[in-house]
Amino acid sequence: MLQIRHEPTPAALIGGPLVSIVVPTLNERANVNMVIEALRHAMGTLPWEVIFVDDNSKDGTAEEAKQIARSDNHVRCIRRIGRRGLASAGAEGFLASSAPYVALMDGDLQHDETLLPQMFQMLESGDDVVIASRYIAGGSSSGLASTERATLSLWGGLLANRLLKIRCSDAMSGFFMMRREVFDKLAPRLSTIGFKLLADILASADQPLAIAELPLRFRARLAGDSKLDTGVKVDFLLLLLDKTVGRVAPVRFVLFSLIGASGLAVHMAALAFLHLIAGIGFELAQALAASVAMTSNFLINNAVTYRDRRLNGARLLTGLLTFYAICAVGFIANVGIANAVFTSGTNWLLAGVAGACVGAVWNFAMSSQLTWKAST
Ligand SMILES: Nc1nc2c(ncn2[C@@H]2O[C@H](COP(=O)(O)OP(=O)(O)O)[C@@H](O)[C@H]2O)c(=O)[nH]1
Ligand SMILES: [Mg+2]
- pLDDT tens across 49-102, in order? 999 999 999 999 999 999 999 999 999 999 999 888 899 999 999 999 999 999
Q: Clarify whether residues 298 and 228 are in a common domain.
A: no
Average pLDDT over residues 152-180: 88
Q: Clarify whether residues 217 and 330 are in a common domain.
A: no
Give the pLDDT of residue 376: 44
Q: Clarify whether residues 105 and 217 are in a common domain.
A: yes
Does the CB atom of residue 145 touch ligand 1 within 6 A? yes
Average pLDDT over residues 230-247: 82
Q: Clarify whether residues 325 and 189 are in a common domain.
A: no
User: Is residue 301, in this structure, part of any structural domain at all?
Assistant: yes
Give the distance (Å) from ligand 1 centre to CA of residue 68.
Answer: 21
Give the pLDDT of residue 330: 92
Give the pLDDT of residue 42: 97
User: Is residue 217, in this structure, part of any structural domain at all?
Assistant: yes
Interval 249-300: pLDDT, tens? 788 888 899 999 999 899 999 999 999 999 999 989 988 999 999 999 999 9
Q: Clarify whether residues 97 and 176 are in a common domain.
A: yes
Q: Clarify whether residues 171 and 279 are in a common domain.
A: no
Does the CB atom of residue 146 touch ligand 1 within 6 A? no
On the question of pLDDT at 348 being above 80, the answer is yes
One-character DSSP codes across 74-105: TEEEEE-SS---HHHHHHHHHHT--SSEEEE-
d(Cα 40, Cα 42) in Å, to the nearest integer?
6
Give the distance (Å) from ligand 1 centre to CA of residue 19.
Answer: 21
d(Cα 278, Cα 269) in Å, to the nearest integer?
12
Q: Clarify whether residues 216 and 268 are in a common domain.
A: no
Q: What percent of the chain has pLDDT over 70?
A: 94
Q: What percent of the chain has pLDDT over 90?
A: 61
Give the distance (Å) from ligand 1 centre to CA of residue 105.
Answer: 10
Q: Quick one: which ligand is closest to 83's CA? A: 1
Give the pLDDT of residue 7: 53
Kind of pairing between the strands at 176-179 and 129-133:
antiparallel
Give the distance (Å) from ligand 1 centre to CA of residue 62.
Answer: 14
User: Is residue 2, in this structure, part of any structural domain at all?
Assistant: no
Does the CB atom of residue 100 touch ligand 1 within 6 A? no
Does the CB atom of residue 88 touch ligand 1 within 6 A? no
Give the pLDDT of residue 13: 54
Give the distance (Å) from ligand 2 centre to CA of residue 226.
Answer: 5
Contact (Cβ atoms closer than 8 angstroms) between residue 201 and residue 102: no
Give the pLDDT of residue 10: 56
Which of 219, 246, 273 is at the close of a domain?
246
On the question of pLDDT at 170 being above 70, the answer is yes
Give the pLDDT of residue 239: 87
Range with the largest mean pLDDT of 3-17, 24-38, 144-158: 24-38
Q: Clarify whether residues 260 and 229 are in a common domain.
A: no
Which of 222, 246, 270 is at the close of a domain?
246
Q: Clarify whether residues 44 and 155 are in a common domain.
A: yes
Contact (Cβ atoms closer than 8 angstroms) between residue 116 and residue 43: yes
Closest by Cα among 282, 80, 273, 299 to 192: 80
**First vs last Cα of the chain: how many Å apart?**
48
Closest by Cα among 94, 71, 72 to 23: 94
Does the CB atom of residue 28 touch ligand 1 within 6 A? yes
Does the CB atom of residue 194 touch ligand 1 within 6 A? no
* Number of domains comprising the chain: 2
Closest by Cα among 58, 72, 68, 70 to 25: 58
Question: pTM score > 0.85 for this model?
Answer: no
Does the CB atom of residue 90 touch ligand 1 within 6 A? no
On the question of pLDDT at 182 being above 50, the answer is yes
Locate the ligand 1 atom nearest the alpha carbon of residue 110 and give its number. 19
Positions of E strands within the chain: 19-25, 48-54, 75-79, 101-104, 129-133, 176-179, 211-215
Give the pLDDT of residue 167: 84
Q: Clarify whether residues 214 and 261 are in a common domain.
A: no
Does the CB atom of residue 18 touch ligand 1 within 6 A? no
User: Is residue 8, in this structure, part of any structural domain at all?
Assistant: no
Give me the domain span that covers residue 320.
251-369
User: Is residue 4, in this structure, part of any structural domain at all?
Assistant: no
199 — pLDDT class (breaks 50, 70, 90): very high
Contact (Cβ atoms closer than 8 angstroms) between residue 235 and residue 194: yes
On the question of pLDDT at 8 being above 60, the answer is no
One-character DSSP codes across 120-159: HHHHHTT-SEEEEESSSTT-B-TTSS-HHHHHHHHHHHHH
Contact (Cβ atoms closer than 8 angstroms) between residue 367 and residue 326: yes
To test ligand 1's pocket by mutation, which of 228, 234, 307 has the most ligand atoms within 8 angstroms of CB?
Answer: 228
Does the CB atom of residue 228 touch ligand 1 within 6 A? yes
Q: Clarify whether residues 365 and 233 are in a common domain.
A: no
143 — pLDDT class (breaks 50, 70, 90): confident
Number of Cβ atoms within 10 Å of the Cβ of 147: 8
